[in-house]
Amino acid sequence: MKIAIGNDHAAVEMKQEIKAYLESKGYEVINFGTDTNASCDYPEFGEKVGRAVASGEADYGITICGTGIGIGIAAGKVKGVRVCTCSEPYSARLSRMHNNTNVLSFGARVIGVEMAKMIVDEWLNNEYEGGRHQRRVDMLMEIENH
């Protein structure tokens, strides 16, 4: 499974930790983020992750900035992307099961790396349930057509 990862200057170390963690679990990680602490603009990296997921280049995406908010908004602007920005595992799990999210976002200035790993695990290890949720996810995606 391929995971696109992207980050701005606020999340270089967090990205590197999460990338190594994912690789240790056998995931292939495509790095779209910055690797320097020089100030940069999170929309660029969120968009790259969103496009990689929407095109099928990656199965899922993970975006990280200071709060996880800006870069998550950017990824979610790409057609076909559903983002979960969160700081705890419960929302990450439910976002997979009910909302079929394909990008996970969190903030390097909000949570620590161990919480981030727990969130990533919960997100990747839960499947979309479909069923009664499909109509609502279809409604979400329909919004993109107007």
Q: Is 146 a catalytic residue?
A: no
Task: Tell me how far apart the alpha carbons of residues 10 and 129 are, in angstroms, rounded to a whole number.
Answer: 34
Which residue in the set 3, 4, 6, 8 belongs to the binding site for ligand RB5 (CB under 6 A)? 8
Using CB under 6 A as the binding criterion, the count of chain residues that bind ligand RB5 stands at 8
Residue 33 interacts with ligand RB5 (CB under 6 A): yes or no: no
Is 65:42 a contact under the CB 8 Å cutoff? Answer: yes
Residue 84 a catalytic site member: no
Quickly tell me which residue has 């992750």 as its tokens. 49
Note whether 101 and 81 are within 8 A (CB): no
Site for ligand RB5 in 36-75 (CB under 6 A): 42, 65-67, 69-70
**Minimum distance of ligand RB5 from residue 69's CB (angstroms):** 4
Distance of CA 95 to the CA centre of its chain: 11
Give the closest residue to 103 by CA, choosing from 92, 112, 94.
92
Residues forming the site for ligand RB5 (CB under 6 A): 8, 10, 42, 65-67, 69-70
As annotated, the active-site residues are 65, 98
